[in-house]
Amino acid sequence: MYRKSAQIIIGTDHQAERSVQRVKNAFKAMCHSSTGHSPAQLFLGRQLRTRSDLVRPQETSSKVTANQFMKSSCKYRELEKDQNVYFLSGNPRIRKWLKGKVTKRLGDVHYQILFQGKYYR
């Protein structure tokens, strides 16, 4: 008689593997009594993210400074009227980059461009 069921492969027991991983990560994030720091902090120089980090509110000051840095470092290029520019055609049948002339500013990064008698945005 032959068995028609699959063999049990111990290495593919995903639930057991996940529980072992959780225990190991909890141990790495736990503060050690003799050093006063977690093994992850000693090895990596920072704390690991745990489930409790998702529950606790983060410091808003670090979020605010990150947003302020992004706003201050992001500068838009300003184009003048009648300035020659290259722009994407958006049509696969013609050349990809076309040379046109700026006619009007429409927004922070949007301009109206004149190319061969047609206006593009």
Within a domain: residue 46? yes
The pLDDT score that the predictor gives to residue 15 is: 84
List all residues 6 or more positions away from 72 whose beta carbon is below 8 Å from its beta carbon.
Answer: none
Q: How many domains are there within the chain? A: 2
Query: Taking Cα atoms as reference points, which of 17, 39, 15, 16 lies closest to residue 28?
Result: 39
- Picking from 39, 57, 75, the residue at the C-terminal end of a domain is 57
Nearest Cα to 42, choosing from 50, 31, 58, 51? Answer: 31
Q: Is 64 within 8 Å of 79 (Cβ atoms)?
A: no
Burial of 2 (0-12, 13-18, 19+ CB in 10 A): exposed
Does residue 29 belong to any structural domain of this protein? yes
42-65 tens-digit pLDDT = 888 888 888 887 787 766 666 667
Residue 26 pLDDT > 90, yes or no? no
Lookup: tokens for 92 = 């696969």
Residue 73 belongs to some domain of the structure: no
Question: Does residue 36 lie within any of the structural domains?
Answer: yes
CB-based contact 43:64 (threshold 8 Å): no
Residue-range definition of the domain harbouring residue 98: 84-120
Whether 36 shows a pLDDT value over 80: the answer reads: yes
Q: Give per-residue burial for 75-113: e unless 16+ CB within 10 Å, then b.
A: eeeeeeeeeeeebeeeeeeeeeebebebeeeeeeeebeb
Residue 34 resides in a domain: yes
Which range is least confidently modeled, 8-12, 95-99, 108-112? 8-12
Q: What is the pTM of this model?
A: 0.40
